[in-house]
């Protein structure tokens, strides 16, 4: 039998939530500390160091359903992270009895087409078809074999903007995918901001991969303390609770005739987000639903 071993590094505050997520697709999870506190005078007094991270590990049978299970796990971990819990490491997947796994996992990644935009994993050479716009991303930084429906929703809404407003502010830039797409679709420059320091590195590297190093700048922080400028286009793929809370700040970064693309909204909370945006002076110009996920294009009311 072949097994897939999933593992994630998480700090003590996130361990329970991560275990629950891995437990949904596996036979059980184990949690190992990465550091122990020992007492040279008392060998039995060994205990976990709660200030150091833990490794949460789970195994599942490698069968036709496992790719879906891995993707669902990645999605759930991504959401845990987006909710601003403590940082959660990247999901690592390996086949326990197959030494060649390190290379074969790449087979699971394929170019993703969203309208005329194609997101290509960095090691693939995808022929460009007429009218297509390609961007290259390292999926270590994007997530999973497919893009999250909220990212897709934003990419779809972005393509409908003609001409592409510029410059662009990408709030919660993550891998930089939305900023990079906006640049590929005609924006002249973009800024990304993210509370996760790793995102600054990842998005900068991805922008360079696309020859956009001089047109993209990443900032570490929250939009509350964001770059002090007004943008004709702001994109924010966060979660409903954050969009509600940050609505006034997002609007404060919008130029007078600016457009806000907001996503990461689970359907039952869409009305709440729309209300908060209305309260901040915006009206819904377009709405896209993809399963349980909603993406919005908002413009100033009146």
Catalog residues that contact ligand SAH under the rule CB under 6 A.
82, 84, 148, 151, 154, 171-174, 177-178, 193-196, 199, 222-223, 237-238, 242
Distances (CA, A) of 211 to 46, 72, 188, 249: 51, 32, 13, 31
> What sign does the CA torsion over 66, 147, 293, 291 have?
negative
Looking at the Cβ atoms of 62 and 170, the one nearer to ligand SAH is: 170
Rounded to the nearest whole angstrom, what is the least distance from the CB of residue 227 to ligand SAH in the complex?
12
> What's the rounded Cα separation, in Å, for the pair 139 and 219?
21
Rounded to the nearest whole angstrom, what is the least distance from the CB of residue 180 to ligand SAH in the complex?
10
Beta bridge partners of 262: 236, 296
Rounded to the nearest whole angstrom, what is the least distance from the CB of residue 6 to ligand SAH in the complex?
20
Looking at the Cβ atoms of 58 and 240, the one nearer to ligand SAH is: 240
Rounded to the nearest whole angstrom, what is the least distance from the CB of residue 35 to ligand SAH in the complex?
25
Beta bridge partners of 235: 170, 261
Cβ-closest residue to ligand SAH?
172
Rounded to the nearest whole angstrom, what is the least distance from the CB of residue 36 to ligand SAH in the complex?
30
Question: What are the backbone angles phi and psi of residue 251, rounded to the nearest 5°?
Answer: -65, -35
Alpha helices in 62-176 (DSSP H): 66-82, 101-104, 149-159
> What's the rounded Cα separation, in Å, for the pair 140 and 202?
9
């Amino acid at each position: 039998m072949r097994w897939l071993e999933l593992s994630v590094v998480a700090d003590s505050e996130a361990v329970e939530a991560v275990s629950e997520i891995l437990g949904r697709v596996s036979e059980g999870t184990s949690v190992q500390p990465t550091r122990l506190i020992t007492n040279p005078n008392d060998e039995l007094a060994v205990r976990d160091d709660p200030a150091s991270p833990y490794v949460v590990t789970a195994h599942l049978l490698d069968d036709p359903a496992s790719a879906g299970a891995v993707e669902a796990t990645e999605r759930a971990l991504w959401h845990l992270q987006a909710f601003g819990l403590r940082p959660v490491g990247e999901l690592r997947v390996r086949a326990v009895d197959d030494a060649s796994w390190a290379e074969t996992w790449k087979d699971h990644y394929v170019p993703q087409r969203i309208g005329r935009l194609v997101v290509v994993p960095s090691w693939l050479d995808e022929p460009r078809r007429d009218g297509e716009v390609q961007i290259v991303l390292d999926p270590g930084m994007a997530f999973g074999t497919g893009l999250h429906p909220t990212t897709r929703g934003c990419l779809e809404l972005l393509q409908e903007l003609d001409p592409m407003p510029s410059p662009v502010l990408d709030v919660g830039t993550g891998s930089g995918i939305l900023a990079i797409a906006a640049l590929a679709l005609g924006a002249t420059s973009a800024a990304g901001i993210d509370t996760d320091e790793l995102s600054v590195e990842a998005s900068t590297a991805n922008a360079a991969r696309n020859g956009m190093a001089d047109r993209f700048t990443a900032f570490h922080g929250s939009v509350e303390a964001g770059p002090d400028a007004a943008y004709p286009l702001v994109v924010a793929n966060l979660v409903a609770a954050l969009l509600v809370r940050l609505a006034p700040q997002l609007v404060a970064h919008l130029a007078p005739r600016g457009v806000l693309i907001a996503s990461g909204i689970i359907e039952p909370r869409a009305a709440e987000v729309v209300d908060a945006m209305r309260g901040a002076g915006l009206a819904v110009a377009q709405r896209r639903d993809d399963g349980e996920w909603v993406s919005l294009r908002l413009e100033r009311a009146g």
